[in-house]
């Protein structure tokens, strides 16, 4: 009888371990992203599949409260304005747990989106499952997705927006812009992975 328990617990441990490893690593460039259904500041549930015309997405994990997210806010708006019509809209996801970060509650998100005239969808990842699946670590962080045949979404770029967080006018490498331009032109993306200092995502206390 005992060996039975041993096998069960070894199996359970294995499943647990692989689940936790997958959770830690998240997506890499070249992986296919899963769609989600998240509540927007308008009260609607939004999925990537809703954007039938889109050729891809600039998914940005961002929030109301992080100073870096605020510094990049206008740049995120600009990205949407430049690329939505060309088929690559911004979809912004707030990954923070509002209990831990009250400034990131749905009503605060609604205020910010209204005051700053967000032209893009601003979604709350209440369960944080999407942020976990994508492997988002800090805000702001971009995942550029490119639509392939049958609507599959391949991750083309992960990282930061440009190379000068303090002053957009002094940035001379625009990673996201360059990546989207390359996708549109059917060229190779110059840099597919970058890193930036950012605010840790406020995960739910477990």
Partner 1 sequence: MRQSLAILILLFSFHMLLAQDIPTYKFTDLERKISKESAEKTLVLNFWATWCAPCIKELPYFESLHQEGEDLDVKVLLVSLDMAKDKAEKFVEKKQLQSEVVYLDEVDFNAWINKISPDWSGAIPATLFVKPGGKQMFYEGQFTKEELYDKVKSFSYQND
Chain residues that interact with partner 1, rule: CB under 8 A: 67, 71, 137-138, 159-160, 163-167, 170, 175, 194-201
Q: What minimum distance in Å lies between the beta carbon of 68 and partner 1?
A: 9
Q: What minimum distance in Å lies between the beta carbon of 10 and partner 1?
A: 28
| Closest-CA residue to 155 (of 27, 22, 26, 25) | 27
What is the total residue count of the chain? Answer: 206
Q: Which is nearer to partner 1, 115 or 169 (CB)?
A: 169
Q: What whole-number distance in Å separates Cα of residue 6 and Cα of residue 183?
A: 51
Q: What minimum distance in Å lies between the beta carbon of 29 and partner 1?
A: 14
* Contact (Cβ atoms closer than 8 angstroms) between residue 92 and residue 121: yes
Pairing of the two strands 45-46 and 56-61: unpaired
Count Cα neighbours of 149 within 13 Å in the Cβ-side half-sphere.
Answer: 0
Q: What minimum distance in Å lies between the beta carbon of 40 and partner 1?
A: 26
Q: Which is nearer to partner 1, 51 or 165 (CB)?
A: 165
Cβ neighbours of residue 31 closer than 8 Å, sequence gap 6 or more:
154, 155
Q: Which is nearer to partner 1, 14 or 67 (CB)?
A: 67
* Contact (Cβ atoms closer than 8 angstroms) between residue 63 and residue 73: no
Q: Which is nearer to partner 1, 89 or 108 (CB)?
A: 108
Q: Which is nearer to partner 1, 58 or 121 (CB)?
A: 58
Extract the tokens encoding 138.
């800090």
Q: What minimum distance in Å lies between the beta carbon of 71 and partner 1?
A: 8
Place of tokens 């492997």: 135
């Amino acid at each position: 009888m005992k060996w039975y328990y041993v096998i069960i617990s070894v199996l359970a441990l294995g499943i647990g371990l692989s689940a936790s490893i997958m959770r830690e690593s998240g997506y890499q460039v070249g992986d296919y992203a899963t769609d989600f259904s998240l509540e927007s500041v308008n009260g609607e549930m939004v999925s990537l599949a809703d954007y039938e015309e889109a050729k891809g997405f600039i998914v940005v994990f961002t929030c109301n409260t992080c100073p870096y997210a605020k510094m990049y806010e206008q740049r995120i708006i600009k990205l949407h304005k430049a690329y939505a019509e060309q088929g690559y809209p911004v979809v912004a996801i707030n990954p923070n747990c509002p209990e831990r970060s009250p400034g990131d509650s749905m009503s605060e998100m609604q205020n910010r989106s209204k005051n700053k005239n967000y032209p893009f969808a601003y979604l709350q990842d209440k369960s944080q499952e999407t942020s976990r699946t994508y492997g988002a670590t800090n805000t702001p962080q971009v995942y550029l997705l490119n639509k392939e045949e049958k609507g599959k979404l391949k991750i083309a770029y992960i990282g930061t927006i440009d190379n000068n967080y303090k002053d957009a006018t002094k940035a001379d490498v625009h990673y996201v812009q360059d990546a989207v331009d390359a996708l549109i032109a059917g060229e190779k993306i110059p840099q597919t992975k970058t890193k930036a200092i950012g605010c840790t995502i406020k995960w739910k206390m477990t």
